Structure 1
């Protein structure tokens, strides 16, 4: 059954300003990528709800303090160098993502250009390139497309399906889904595990 605006608002009340544009986009994306059962949809909505601040944040927020930089990326920032990057999102992105995930070096700007976007935060040039092929969109040359509701939803559903998350949902492995999304490794406890689970339980009730 297609998701309704009322159902989405019951699951994610903070999505009210964007519900009208996201419900049709999510329904198209879920249909295309076979997120087509109550369990799959509840799991998907829970994860995108957590990752996007209930559909309100379609681009990664990298406005970190010096202390937060050291806590979040202890291998990249120390108490000595963090203050030089604090509250400078572009500089932080280039430092954190430069030279990895298909990005060029820090000075090249790919880290900022290909920072996390969409409902599941596609990050890095190689992932943008993969999503571009999967979705038939020029994401490598126009990364900002993932900040549009339609493409934000499609990219999330594509990523979900390609990584076998429909099958994990079918098996009831909800924490493992969060682990794959947040850590890249099933079995590791994801950031926000309690909120992800609470959103999933709520979505199951609303979609019943």
Structure 2
């Protein structure tokens, strides 16, 4: 069992990591997410912050840049209605995607407005949606099992896209948060 610690991330630390648009709300949301989803060991936090850093361009993007049409009619994502692909494209600092995942997230948060789609989730829950994705994909266990940045990247990305940057982000997080 991994040892847990009450690690709180500060705005200064996020800025030192290179994150943009850092404000009090963002920092509170991050710390609530870390607590809610038990991202509370050094390994879990390092992987979570390095992966979200890469996926979001250090906070520049809270939603997928592509239009989402590639997800249209993807039954595995629960996209069964016309327009579901763009409406439920990736949102948050890790791209939560698909009607099914949005519905599960809405249930988790007790917020039916999540089903309004990507714009609402990307503005309201960038950290929490990433934390929810982290939870449903068993990422804490992967971290506890000692998976490498490369192994975590494959889980998050489905491949090794941006692997060098993810390693660099991991190194930065390790130095800043010690």
What range is the shorter-chain TM-score in? Answer: 0.7 to 0.9
For the pair 1:193 / 2:167, whether they are aligned, the reply is no
Q: SS state of the match for residue 45, structure 2?
A: helix
Q: What's the TM-score, normalizing by structure 2?
A: 0.86
Counterpart for residue 152 of structure 2: 177
Q: What's the TM-score, normalizing by structure 1?
A: 0.75
The two structures, once aligned, show a CA RMSD in angstroms of: 1.7
Counterpart for residue 154 of structure 1: 128
Counterpart for residue 104 of structure 1: 80
Counterpart for residue 2 of structure 1: 8
Matched residues in 2 for 1:161 and 1:109: separation?
27
Quote the offset at 1:207 in angstroms.
Answer: 0.8
Where does structure 1 lack aligned partners over 5 or more consecutive residues? 63-88, 184-188
Whether contact under 8 Å (1:9, 1:19) holds in the other structure is no
Counterpart for residue 90 of structure 2: 116
For the pair 1:50 / 2:54, whether they are aligned, the reply is yes
How many residue pairs were aligned? 168
For the pair 1:24 / 2:28, whether they are aligned, the reply is yes
Q: Deviations over 1:105-144 (max 9, x none)?
A: 6xx2111111111111111111111222222221553223
What are the equivalent positions in structure 2 for 1:117-156 lying under 5 Å apart?
117-139=91-113, 141-143=115-117, 144-149=119-124, 151-156=125-130
Where does structure 2 lack aligned partners over 5 or more consecutive residues? 1-6
